[in-house]
Amino acid sequence: MCVDQIDADDITLDRQIRKHREIKEWYLKEPKTRAGVRAAVLTPHLSKTLTAYMEANPPVEREMTYRYRNGDEETRTVRLIFTTDDGQPMTREYLRWRWDKACKKANIKITRHRLRRTMATLLIGDGVDVKTVQAILGHSKASITLDMYADPSEQGRAAARKALARRRIKAA
């Protein structure tokens, strides 16, 4: 993540960082699909936490090639927020290793994907419309979001019973 991706309310997820297999050079690229370009919600608590993190760990400025889907390239100067101790960009593998290490130390077993699923299920359960949750997750279709993350809840069943009772229909 780069500093320029953060504004007052959102974190714009419009690029990915990769390392070229052969020449071992870091570069930025567009997400694999247009739906992958999205805005994550920046809550006041997350904003405060991110600000404190950047004060303790100043972003690292770096010139990088940005590769577009159509093959065009440009050089950009970016300020990377999350880097390894030696200033290199963090990879998925590195993040997974750090996550697993922290979970082991805390004696909990939870995957990063489970947190994503929980967030999506809670948002849907709290009445956030599926199209908004779809956009936050970067899914190309709302049906993917519903199929993967919307679990039936007891509150939903109770609401269905109430709605059917108002209409004097017996619930199954």
Q: Which of 67, 50, 48, 66 is nearest to 58 (CA)?
A: 50
User: What are the pLDDT digits (tens) for 110-139?
Assistant: 888 888 888 888 888 788 888 888 888 878
74 band by pLDDT with thresholds 50, 70 and 90: very high
Contact 128, 146 (CB under 8 A): no
75 band by pLDDT with thresholds 50, 70 and 90: very high
**CA atoms 87, 1, 7, 40: torsion sign:** negative
For position 39, what pLDDT does the model report? 82
For position 78, what pLDDT does the model report? 93
Burial of 104 (0-12, 13-18, 19+ CB in 10 A): exposed
Residue holding tokens 């519903």? Answer: 146
Question: What percent of the chain has pLDDT above 90?
Answer: 20
* Res. 149: pLDDT tops 80: no
User: What are the pLDDT digits (tens) for 28-69?
Assistant: 998 877 777 888 888 889 889 999 999 999 999 999 999 888
> In angstroms, rounded to a whole number, what is the distance separating the alpha carbons of residues 131 and 36?
14
Residue holding tokens 């899914």? Answer: 139
State the average pLDDT for the chain: 84
Contact 138, 36 (CB under 8 A): yes
* Res. 171: pLDDT tops 60: no
> In angstroms, rounded to a whole number, what is the distance separating the alpha carbons of residues 38 and 137?
8
For position 153, what pLDDT does the model report? 66
